[in-house]
Amino acid sequence: MNTGIVICAVITAFLAVFCCNAFAASGQLPLQTAEKVDLQKYMGVWHEISRLEHGFQKHCIGSGAEYKLAADNEVEVLNSCTDERDGRRREAKGRAWSVDPVNNSKLKVSFFWPFRGDYWIIELGENYRYSVVGSPDRKYLWILGREPELDESLYQKIVERLRTQGFPVDSLVKKPLKGKSENAKLL
């Protein structure tokens, strides 16, 4: 028998066992993403409906994002919100790029080189009416809409689907929509 084939078989078996044990230890299956994302359709203004809270968005209300496709097929990102303490607008500019060009549902985003994070599009509504974005470790999650509000029954269905994927949906926060009209004037 060819030694190379045996070595490949042993390595493959080791990786399979390692991956299964890693998923079993975390108690979570790999995060499923949207089947296919048309980046051109995804561009434009998105309003934050809810999120898992993190320090970089503390005191943010009326949060939103605007995405523009750049000439190099990367995405220009402008996130903004109103600081609920003093009413001032806060902005963060960054760039994103697809790491899975087959379906474009897995992106990396960077607001400050060399740091970058996962931006995985988990679910998309019909006609890109809403988007659910998160990270594979399930520590980051946003529900976004093209409009500042999402139908409550649809929102609850999305939340239940996220619960089955292992997200801590009981920690989702909905911030007041004060400042929402400013999201339409991002770039």
pLDDT reading at 181 higher than 50 = no
Instruction: Say what the pLDDT of residue 87 is.
Output: 93
What pLDDT score was predicted for residue 165? 95
The domain spans of the chain are 1-28, 39-185
Report pLDDT for 28.
75
Would you state the pLDDT for residue 178? 58
Return the higher-pLDDT residue of 5 and 149: 149
Q: Is the pLDDT of residue 26 over 60?
A: no
Question: Is the pLDDT confidence value at 7 over 90?
Answer: no
Domain 39-185, CATH homologous superfamily name and number: Calycin beta-barrel core domain (2.40.128.20)
Each residue's pLDDT tens digit, 57-84: 888 999 999 999 998 889 999 999 999 9
Percent of the chain at pLDDT exceeding 90: 68
CA distance 128 to 63: 18
Q: Is residue 94 over pLDDT 50?
A: yes
Q: How confident is the model at residue 47 (pLDDT cuts 50, 70, 90)?
A: very high
* Cα dist from 2 to 8, 10, 11, 65, whole Å: 10, 13, 15, 55
Alpha helices in the chain (DSSP H): 3-26, 39-42, 152-164
**pTM, two decimal places:** 0.80
Q: Given this model, what pLDDT does residue 3 score? A: 40
Distance CA 102, CA 99 (A): 9
Say which residue, 124 or 73, is predicted with more confidence.
124
Q: Average pLDDT of 104-111?
A: 96
